[in-house]
Amino acid sequence: MKRKFFHVVIFFFVGFVLTFFLSSAVFPPGLKPFYGGGYLPLLSLGGNYFVLSSAYLLARFAWGKDVFVLLQAAFSVCGAGIPLAVSVVRRRKIHPFYTVISAFFAELPMMAFLPDKEWMLFLANGALSALFSLLLLPLLFKIKKRVLTFGEWEAAVAGLISFALGAGSYSATYFGVSAYYLLLAFLLPTAIFLLHSGAIPLVFAVGATALSGEVAPVLAAAMAVVFSEALKSKRVLAAFSLPVAEGLTYLLFPGGFSPLNFLFLFSGGFLAAFLPDVFYKKGAAMLGRGERNAPYALVNKTRLEIVGKLGFIGDALRKTSETLCVLGGGDGEDEAAGRLSEEFSASLCVGCKNFKDCAAQGGGNTAQLFQGAIARALRNGKATICDLPPYLNGNCHKTRSFLDALNEATEIYREERERCLIRNETRQKLAGEAEGVAAVLDVLRRDLRRAVSFDGKKRDRVLAELRREGIVSYDAMVADGGDVATVTVTLEETKAKDERVTEAVSRAMGTSFLPEGITRLGAGSVAASFRSAPPFDAIVGQSVKIKEGSEACGDTKSVTRLNGDRIMIALSDGMGSGEEANRGSAAAISLVENFYRTGVEEKTVLPLINHLLTMRNDGSFQTLDMCVVDLRTAEADFIKLSAPESVIKRRSGSEIVEGGALPLGILREITPSVSRRKLASGDVVVLATDGVTDAIGADGMMRVVESGRTNNPQTIADNVIRDASYVSQADDQTVVALRLFRRVG
């Protein structure tokens, strides 16, 4: 009941205010083209007839204070009621057009009370008011359906309403104070923040200027629009820009503005400035200018769908791994001996004249006489006459045939057994690969499962900073995935690599951002992606000395950025030296790089790589020495497989990181040596192959690192190679040095 009463009060108030202001818009020589616009359209939208009619009659009388105006309004109300009554009787809707036309014709009898020269003006006012009401109908129908995205025609009609309200509110002046200033002070910042345009308040001011003939209203509004646009990111300042603009206008045109209106200006500005954010968010959403959540929700929905599909694939791979692990070993020796005994008994003994005696000797079945000899033959790989039991040697005349058949069966059995072992080993390797790939998919699922949040305010700041740099961006997206934020902007391809874009994004986000990638969209536009920069960065130095007399280095080195937040340095030393060793170490490094880019941990990556390398079955193996540095946490993980020691140079003193574990490609199951160290800005990590440590040792390498007064990683790498090659060049020598430093800005 209270809710219904509240709606009645709102409808009455809106109808009264609109009718009063639209009736107040009177232009020379007495044109009143808008007076019906606050009543007939609202009535046609389904508003309560009695509530709106009461508001209309009261507003018309309050404006005109004249019996003739009241009678004219009463005739209009009666005319509008006729189509409504017909719709009730016939129980069918009447088109709003008939309501407007009926109200117009109902006013015509009033012309009989007018002098000869005024009836034409009366007729023109009625026709213009009816036309204005008809123009409003499509726009108001859209608003009723909460569809507030307008085309060009609806925008023009909205401008006409603003013009009419501006003119009417400006003329409604009492005691030198006009409601125009209250409405304008509220409308201007609201339009700036909701519509991102000052067109509506400017048209509102044009209506006031057209009615009054004074330039001050539109000049002040134009100045306020400029101020508000400049202060768009600061709503409170933008809301109070209009009083400042009006004050400047008052100084230029003292006769066009009453100082008392400052009260209304500040009241409207205060209301616009301190409205709850939910008002602007809901208004922007209804206008189609709010947060574009649908595409962002689709992004997260797609991510979750991919997570589900990856889960199904991972489960399928694990089921495959479990199936492969159920090994088919074939018959064991005992089972094979029993089976062959039955076969030999059936093929050699049936039909023999001594069958009954032999069967009696074997407990009713001659197969028992063969089984021991067959078992020994399968175990030893060959059967001789010495393997036969004494009874068969003395009584069986088919001994030679039995031995020949047994040796042939033994050879077939052993060949099949060998093939079965190879199959089982292959199945185990494939099972390991399937399990490893499933683990990789688990990492991808973990990363994709986190929903990405999108920030509209930061997006607007990014676009504003780009405009400040004179760079046109069609759109931007700011995504926060937890520790890392990403920004994607669409712009002209010629501007994609402009450093000002990165600088603008960094300023808008309040922290350093780095370019991540560029995607071409066609038609000369691209999507440029940026990623929040980690607090640390690193520089790397490398130095190599090939074994004396060798043409190629068997060592392979790698420096790889992993997703922008981690950097990996790695060394692989293939067995021996030269091109063959280089191919082996290069294969290991390539696998390490590709798997680590997926973000999979080393406990999953290294066994997977080892499986692949052992399947090569060429007898070679590779050592692996890796250091993965997290540029966000400054933590370094050392992963070593038969790798020599490494050195960390710190301000407080150097440290040796021990090596360990068997190399890749020897055994199917490996456990790498993994250790973690916390680094600080200025620390240097030095990795070296065994050609260096065999020459000068880990202690010698640490002395070289400490003896130099430089932290330049390239100089350190060169110094280590220089000293090691001076002592010995019996093996390839490679050094990679990494220096961590804190990023500035």
Reply yes or no on whether the pLDDT at 508 is more than 90.
no
Residue with more model confidence, 719 or 361: 719
Tell me which range, 42-51, 131-140, 495-504, is most confidently predicted by mean pLDDT: 495-504
Reply yes or no on whether the pLDDT at 79 is more than 90.
no
Residue with more model confidence, 667 or 102: 102
pLDDT at 324: 66
Reply yes or no on whether the pLDDT at 715 is more than 90.
yes
> CA-to-CA distance for 99 and 45, rounded, in angstroms?
11
pTM score, whole prediction: 0.53
In this prediction, residues 112-116 reach a mean pLDDT of 72
In this prediction, residues 376-402 reach a mean pLDDT of 73
Reply yes or no on whether the pLDDT at 38 is more than 90.
no
Measuring CA to CA, which residue among 441, 432, 446 is closest to residue 606?
432
Count of CA atoms in the C-beta half-sphere (13 A) of 337: 18
Percent of the chain predicted with pLDDT > 70 = 68
Reply yes or no on whether the pLDDT at 635 is more than 80.
yes
pLDDT at 618: 46
pLDDT at 230: 56
What token pair was written down for 488?
Answer: 């994607």
Kindly report, residue by residue over 295-351, the tens digit of the pLDDT: 666 666 777 777 777 777 777 777 777 776 665 555 667 777 777 777 776 777 766
Kindly report, residue by residue over 249-264, the tens digit of the pLDDT: 666 655 555 666 666 6
* Beta-ladder partners of 223: none
pLDDT at 231: 53
Percent of the chain predicted with pLDDT > 90 = 8
Confidence of residue 663 (pLDDT cuts 50, 70, 90): very low
What token pair was written down for 193?
Answer: 């923040």
Reply yes or no on whether the pLDDT at 666 is more than 60.
no
> CA-to-CA distance for 452 and 485, rounded, in angstroms?
9
Residue with more model confidence, 241 or 632: 632
Overall fold of domain 536-742: Phosphatase 2c; domain 1 (3.60.40)
In this prediction, residues 270-279 reach a mean pLDDT of 60
In this prediction, residues 627-640 reach a mean pLDDT of 88
> CA-to-CA distance for 516 and 533, rounded, in angstroms?
10
User: For the chain, what are the domain ranges?
Assistant: 1-147, 150-290, 291-451, 454-532, 536-742
pLDDT at 667: 46
Q: Are 301 and 449 in contact (CB under 8 A)?
A: no
Measuring CA to CA, which residue among 616, 547, 543 is closest to residue 577?
547
Q: Are 73 and 60 in contact (CB under 8 A)?
A: yes
pLDDT at 54: 83
Reply yes or no on whether the pLDDT at 85 is more than 80.
yes
State how far the alpha carbon of 712 is from the alpha carbons of 233, 409, 649, 718, 719, in Å.
45, 71, 11, 10, 11
What is the chain's mean pLDDT, rounded?
74
User: In whole angstroms, what separates CA 678 from the centre of its chain?
Assistant: 31
Overall fold of domain 454-532: Gyrase A; domain 2 (3.30.1360)
Measuring CA to CA, which residue among 66, 73, 71, 79 is closest to residue 22?
73
Cβ neighbourhood burial of 589 (10 Å; 0-12, 13-18, 19+): buried
